[in-house]
A and B are shown apart, each in its own frame.
Chain A
Amino acid sequence: MNPEVSGVDTVIDTVSAVFMVVGALMSLGAAVGLLRFPDLMSRMHAATKPQVLGLFLLLAAVGLQLRTWWVWPVLFVAWIFQLLTVPVSAHMVGRAGYRTKHLHRELLTTDELEAVVQKAADKRDADDDEASGPA
C-alpha cells in the first residue's frame, strides 16, 4: 500500500469511529428494548432487528480500519449469513411465542390471525375426536 495522506486517514478514522459508536448503540437499544417492552413479541422486534444494522456498521468499521480491499468480500459474506439467519430464528421464536400465548392480547389493536388459528385448532380437535372414536 502506498503511504496515505494524513487528511484522508483522519476522515476514515472518524467515519469508522462513528460507525463503531452507533453500532454499539444498536446493541444498547436492543437491551433497553428487552427491558422495557411489555411482551415477548415486541421484545423480539427490539432484540433481533437493530443487530442487523449494528453488525453492518461494525463490519464496515473493520473494513475501513484494515484498509485493504480483500477483506470486504469476507465481511460481506459474514453479513449475508446474518441476513439469512436472523429472520428465520426470529420467525421461529415468534411463531412459538404466538402459539404458546406469550403475547398480551390487550396490547394488540388488530389480530387477524387469531380466528384462523382458532379454526385450525377446532378442526384438529374434531379430527382427534373422530380418530379416537366413540370411547
Chain B
Amino acid sequence: MSRRRISLRQELPLLVWLVFVWAALWQDFSPGNLLFGALIAVVVARLFYLPPVELGGRFSVVRAVPFAIVFLGKVVAASFQVLYLAVARGPKVSNAVVAVQLRSHSDLMVTATGHVISLIPGSLVVEVDRSTSTLYIHGLNVRNGEDVMSLRKEVRDTEAGLIRIMGTKEELAELKQEVAS
C-alpha cells in the first residue's frame, strides 16, 4: 500500500455523498443514523480506496444552480425535439460526427463535459482522445456547416460553464482572457 494518502479535505465530497446515499436508502436523517453512516463511509473509503478524483479545489454554488436549471431546460427542449424528429423526419434524418477540441486537459473536466453533452438528447460522445482532450461527438439532425458550428459552440459553452463551476484557478483565468479578447 504505497499509494500516496490524499488529504481529508479532498476526500470530503466523496464522504458527504456516501453519507447522503446511506441516509437516503434508510430514509432516516436522524443524527444517530448520520453519525453511523459517516463512520461506515470513512471505513469504506479507507479500505477500498480508488484513485482520487483530482478536484480543482473550488466549487461555486452560485454558478452551479443556474447551470443545473439551464441544463434541465435543455434536456426538456431537446427531448421533445428528438421526439418530433422521430415522428416527423424518421428515416430521412441526417447526422454528423464532429471533433471538438476542449480547453481543459484535466480528466475530470473532459469527463464532466462528455457526460453533460451525452445527457442532452441529440448529441453523443463516440470517442475521446485523451492526449489532446478532443471529443468526437455524434450529432442528430446536423444538416450543414452551420449546424456543425452551433453544435461545436454548444459543447464549448458547456465546458465554459463547468469551468466556471469547478475548474481550477488557471483554467478560469484562461477562460476570462479568452472571453475578454
List A residues at the B interface (Cβ < 8 Å): 25-26, 29, 32-33, 36-38, 41-42, 44-46, 49-50, 52-53, 70-71, 73-74, 76-77, 83-84, 86-87, 90-91, 94-95, 98, 103, 107-114, 116-117
Known interface pairs A49-B122, A90-B118, A112-B99. Does A77 touch B24 (Cβ–Cβ under 8 Å)? Answer: yes
Q: Contacts of A94 on B, CB cut-off 8 Å?
A: 124-126, 138
Q: Contacts of B145 on A, CB cut-off 8 Å?
A: 110
Q: Would you list which residues of chain B between 10 and 65 have a CB under 8 Å from chain A?
A: 20-21, 23-25, 27-29
* Of listed A26, A33, A95, A110, residue having the most chain B CB within 10 A: A110
Of chain A, the residue at the smallest CB distance from B83 is: A29
Interchain CB contact under 8 A, A112 and B98: yes
A33 to B29, CA, bound (A): 42
Interchain CB contact under 8 A, B136 and A74: no
Q: Contacts of A36 on B, CB cut-off 8 Å?
A: 86-87, 90-91
| B75 close to chain A: CB less than 8 A | yes
Interchain CB contact under 8 A, A37 and B93: yes
Of chain B, the residue at the smallest CB distance from A111 is: B97
Contacts between chains A and B (CB distance < 8 A), count: 143
Of chain A, the residue at the smallest CB distance from B147 is: A109
Question: Which of B20, B95, B144, B147 is in CB contact (< 8 Å) with A73?
Answer: B20
A91 to B24, CA, bound (A): 29
- Which secondary structure dominates where chain A touches chain B? helix
A70 to B29, CA, bound (A): 8
Question: Which of A73, A84, A109, A110 is in CB contact (< 8 Å) with B23?
Answer: A73
A18 to B2, CA, bound (A): 56
Interchain CB contact under 8 A, B99 and A113: yes
A19 to B49, CA, bound (A): 40
Interchain CB contact under 8 A, B95 and A41: yes
A90 to B121, CA, bound (A): 11
A52 to B96, CA, bound (A): 23
Q: Contacts of B136 on A, CB cut-off 8 Å?
A: 112-113, 116
Q: Contacts of A84 on B, CB cut-off 8 Å?
A: 115
Interchain CB contact under 8 A, A73 and B121: no
How close is B179's CB to chain A, nearest CB, in angstroms?
A: 26
A26 to B86, CA, bound (A): 11
How close is A22's CB to chain B, nearest CB, in angstroms?
A: 10
| B105 close to chain A: CB less than 8 A | no
Question: Which of B21, B98, B129 is in CB contact (< 8 Å) with A116?
Answer: B129
| B120 close to chain A: CB less than 8 A | yes
| B127 close to chain A: CB less than 8 A | yes
Known interface pairs A52-B75, A53-B76. Does A98 touch B127 (Cβ–Cβ under 8 Å)? Answer: yes
Q: Contacts of A70 on B, CB cut-off 8 Å?
A: 27-29
Known interface pairs A37-B91, A73-B20, A74-B27. Does A87 touch B96 (Cβ–Cβ under 8 Å)? Answer: no
| B172 close to chain A: CB less than 8 A | no
How close is A93's CB to chain B, nearest CB, in angstroms?
A: 9
Q: Contacts of A29 on B, CB cut-off 8 Å?
A: 79, 82-83, 86-87
